[in-house]
Amino acid sequence: MFAKILIANRGEIACRVIRTARRLGVRTVAVYSDADAKAMHVEMADEAVHIGASPVGESYLRGDKIVAAALATGAEAIHPGYGFLSENPDFVDEVVAAGLIFIGPSAASIRAMGLKDAAKRLMEKAGVPVVPGYHGEAQEIVLLASKAREIGYPVLIKARAGGGGKGMRRVEHPDDFSEALSGARREAKAAFGDDRVLVEKYVDKPRHIEVQVFGDNFGNAVHLFERDCSAQRRHQKVIEEAPAPGMTPALRKAMTEAAVKAAKAISYSSAGTIEFIVDASQGLKADRFWFMEMNTRLQVEHPVTEMVTGTDLVEWQLRVAAGERLPKTQSEIQFSGHAFEARIYAEDAAKGFLPATGTLHHLAFPDSAPEGAMMRIETGVRAGDAISPFYDPMIAKLVVHARDRQAALDALGTALSQTEIAGSTVNTAFLAALTADTDFSAGDVDTGLIGRHQEALTMVAPPTGETIAAAALAAAGAGALPPSDDPWSSLAGYAHFHAVARRTRLRHGEDYILARVSVRPDGRFEVALDAPYDSVNSHDLRAAPRLARWPGHVTVFEGAVGYSFLVPDPLARTDEAAAASSSLRAPMPGLVKLVRAAKGEAVTKGQPLLILEAMKMEHTISAPHDGIVAEIAAEGAQVTDGTVLVRFVEEAA
């Protein structure tokens, strides 16, 4: 086994690798950018090396700096985690040339599977079923459009490099093909440096089922059963589970055999995932699945496989890279129970899952697993950490395991309802709604489920009077604090002619709420709210509210929903209504990739005005109302959250 390894990654996966390495007695070296100088993975590692500025191109994608850090610290091997350089064969070559060991597959294996078109041609030769489509080298738009017509609409345009939903477009009609192709190419170029695409038949009711495979350097390869990753938004996974609901013995046998065949075809070593698309329109059948791609690395969702099989895949990676054989044979690998993983992101589900930023002023996960379940919290952040615009906005992975699917799903819902995050917009309410969705609960899931139910899944009920009252009490410094911290405690039980009252102004979304908090003679608090809310006595609250106070805000937690209230500074004067009507601001930090309107142009509500690139994905910014453009941001402009992108000509009074 290694004495010391370097982890060429950050955040949750870096922390995950460090935990296993520590258990095995292996020392670890972390690398970090400017933005991550005080990050959790830096604190956990035995050593840490600064490798550059915050943008990934100046730090985590600098293979030369990472290799230099490994050599300088005496590390014997490099673990790439996932993302960044994990599937870059040139980096593997660089590691090996430096006399170090890459904890992952060979550069040849990565190259064989790195481009989707070449990988599919290889799989066809190996006898693995492949999705019908065009996987050739020619990229002329006329040829691609003609291939799409041959395949038959709807089709899916996919970047041939990378994954994560980037560079992917579904096209329903030939008239939309050209624009969709341009968007896919731009996004693919930004994310992977390669704008080439392939075109495939879009399956009507697709299930995304993948098989975990593992190989060693002695020609052995096994599978660790399947995971279902069909719950996706924007072509990105949000909840994964193992085993796949509705899986039949025949399909499992056919799929796992095909996966192992694929791994052996490229002499694969280390952890990998063979991803299949399954046509579930007539149930799961052994002749209705096709190879999509191979991820030549550890997957984000690997914990669900670990939970059902009782393995540590990172330990397997370290042992195989150190020259050992696979820890288990195929017959020794069994699975039991059911596991779910929910990805908690800083994102606004109600606004099309736009990535969010902010400081995690309050971060609390359940203290223990729900009854009858096991639970893991995989995270790389702590309370007080910032969600940076430079990296993926995932906060944590909540993983549960129980005896069967329903028990595991109940445990997941309970754990989500006990998770508290304040300081950034997060998706916990959406995840909880998904766990309670009728189709998802029944296991009737496909990659279009979230899209079909998106409005219902992202709808959050407005706060009740009780929730607002709890926020008002906290904002006024009363009722929600221990007595020693309560500045009003000396007033409890006393009133001279009438109750003492404190006016508190709150803002929730676009709504301003005036609350008057009074201390009654019996020591209880009364909160008088403007209509349509009723006054609430402190003893009328259903239970002691779960809340967090952070600079200028109060967040009250109701299940998985966090209702955040701004407590306006009474000395600050802004004309927000006027600003909202006359300008359009950036919903997140990003790059203005494309401008589709001009100064002086009359635009209509919903018309696309520009494309903002954030976190390597494109987001269309549309007109919120009819109007005339007075100013618009320039292409190539780098903007921050809240930057004015478009100003409209104000109507004369």
Which residues form the catalytic set?
A: 297
**Rounded CA gap, 346 and 354, in Å?**
9
**Rounded CA gap, 310 and 242, in Å?**
13
Task: Specify whether the CB–CB gap between 547 and 563 falls below 8 A.
Answer: no
* Burial class, 246, CB count within 10 angstroms (exposed 0-12 / middle 13-18 / buried 19+): middle
**Rounded CA gap, 639 and 637, in Å?**
6
Phi, psi angles (nearest 5°) of residue 398: -100, 115
Going 580 to 583 to 584 to 586, the CA torsion angle's sign is negative
In the block, which residue shows the tokens 């002023």?
A: 361
* Burial class, 53, CB count within 10 angstroms (exposed 0-12 / middle 13-18 / buried 19+): middle
Task: Specify whether the CB–CB gap between 432 and 560 falls below 8 A.
Answer: yes
Parallel, antiparallel, or unpaired: how do β-strands 553-558 and 561-566 relate? antiparallel
324-335 burial, b at 16+ Cβ within 10 Å, e below that, comes to: eebbeeeeebeb
Closest CA to 155 of 165, 164, 144: 144
**Rounded CA gap, 358 and 386, in Å?**
6
Residue ranges with strand state E in 485-642: 500-508, 511-519, 525-529, 536-537, 546-550, 553-558, 561-566, 583-585, 590-595, 602-603, 608-614, 617-622, 627-632, 638-639
**Rounded CA gap, 328 and 622, in Å?**
54
**Rounded CA gap, 54 and 374, in Å?**
36
Strand ranges across the sheet with 644-648 = 583-585, 644-648, 627-632, 602-603
Parallel, antiparallel, or unpaired: how do β-strands 590-595 and 638-639 relate? antiparallel
Tally DSSP H helices, then E strands, for the chain: 18, 38
**Rounded CA gap, 115 and 250, in Å?**
30
Q: What Å distances lie between residue 434 and 231, 250, 346, 449, 453, CA to CA?
A: 9, 29, 17, 10, 9
